[in-house]
Structure 1
Amino acid sequence: MLYLAQVRKNDFLDQHQLRLLARQEAENFWVIIPEEAFILLGKGNTMSEKLLVLVELSPTGDIERLEDATSWVLGLIENYLTTGITPEFLQQEAERAEHWRQSLTLQNQDLARRSLELEARREQIQALEETLKRDKNGYHKDEA
């Protein structure tokens, strides 16, 4: 699983550790890790303190991949923050989408109702046509 982490110095153990900040749940969905969770890097691994990194952990919690998060953060800025996408904008878009969904639902219900009405009218017309045919056939039989 992929995490965003920050390198910290553990003075007690005299080694660096990663403080896990967020976890990737889906491609563009991350969850903040509210509790403090740390992973020791080991004595030989010295990295700059406060550095943000992306770390991929195995199911057992072992580090499988570790990379500087600078390019990833810059990609986020480029994709989202340079175009003016703010939380407020996203909330407005979500509200607009919900209004569209509700409007489409109402339109769909109206179309379904009209379709049922048309079907009922078609059946009435067919019944009238059958009645007219019977009356016409009965009328011709009476003349004969």
Structure 2
Amino acid sequence: MIYLAQVQINPNSGDIQLQVLARQESEYVWEVDNSQALLLTKESSLGAGVLVLVETEANQHIISVQDAKDWVLSILQQHLTKNAINPQFIETEQSKVEKWRQEITAQNLELNQRALEIETRREQLQELEQELKRDREELDKLQQQLSNK
């Protein structure tokens, strides 16, 4: 388990404690949780107030402690800078998506209309072919009658 914690020094004992602030639930999901403190048993030069990432085993035994500065800065860089995903960016992208959706809907309507026109013309051509076939048959009959006379 990985925790974000703040280094605290117990005023009575002088022991270094890590006050848990949040715990990692999955790769990109963290849950705020300040209900526990982890006791740092190894000697450390961490000062009070420093934010750290703490990796523990299932039994809460601390595997590693590292300064969280680089991790926090990477989060800031990824999510809170000009080029990051923010509410304005999301709003702009939603507007683009809505515009594209409307354009696609209009194109779909136009394609449906064209398909209907093509179907209508195809039916008209079939009717003309049938009419032409009947006219040819009638001409053949007339020609046959004329040749018999």
Look up the equivalent residue of 2:100 and give its one-letter code. L
Partners of 1:59 and 1:107 lie apart in 2 by 54
- What TM-score comes out, normalization by structure 1 length? 0.74
User: 5+ residue gaps in structure 2?
Assistant: 141-149
- Identify unmatched segments of 5+ residues in structure 1: none
Cα separation, 2, equivalents of 1:68 and 1:35: 18
Residue of structure 1 equivalent to 2:40: 41
Offset, 1:115: 1.9
**Within 2, Cα distance between the matches of 1:11 and 1:67?**
23
Secondary structure of the residue aligned to 2:101 is helix
Match of 2:131 in 1: 135
Alpha-carbon distance in 1 for matches of 2:139, 2:127: 18
- 1:143/1:59 Cα in 2 relative to 1: closer, same or farther (>3 Å)? farther
2:93 to 94, 97, 100: 97
User: Displacement of 1:105 after TM fit?
Assistant: 1.5
- Compute the displacement of 1:75 (Å): 4.1
3-state SS of 2:47 partner: coil
Distance 1:10 1:106, change over 3 A: same
1:13 CA drift (Å)? 5.7
Task: Kindly state the Cα deviation for residue 109 of structure 1 after the two structures are TM-superposed.
Answer: 1.7
The 3 A distance-change label for structure 1 pair 98 and 37 is farther
Is 1:22–1:30's contact at 8 Å kept on the other side of the alignment?
Answer: no
Q: Is 1:113 matched with 2:109?
A: yes
Aligned partners of 1:35, 1:20: CA distance in 2, in Å?
A: 5
**Which has the larger Rg?**
2
Shift of 1:56: 2.3
Task: Report the Cα distance in structure 1 between the residues aligned to 2:113 and 2:63, rounded to whole angstroms.
Answer: 63
Check the 8 A contact 2:22/2:34 in 1, yes or no. no
Read off the aligned partner of 2:93 and give its amino acid letter.
A
**Superposition RMSD in Å:** 2.9
1:126 matches 2:108: no
What SS does the corresponding residue of 1:67 show, helix, strand or coil?
strand
Change (3 A) 1:63 1:120: farther
Identity of aligned residues (%): 24
In 1, distance between residues paired with 2:93 and 2:26? 21
- Alpha-carbon displacement from aligned partner over 1:72-118 (angstroms, at most 9, x marks no partner): 3444556666x5468xx821111101111111122222222222222
Bigger mean CA offset, 92-101 vs 51-60 = 51-60
Amino acid across the alignment from 2:130: R
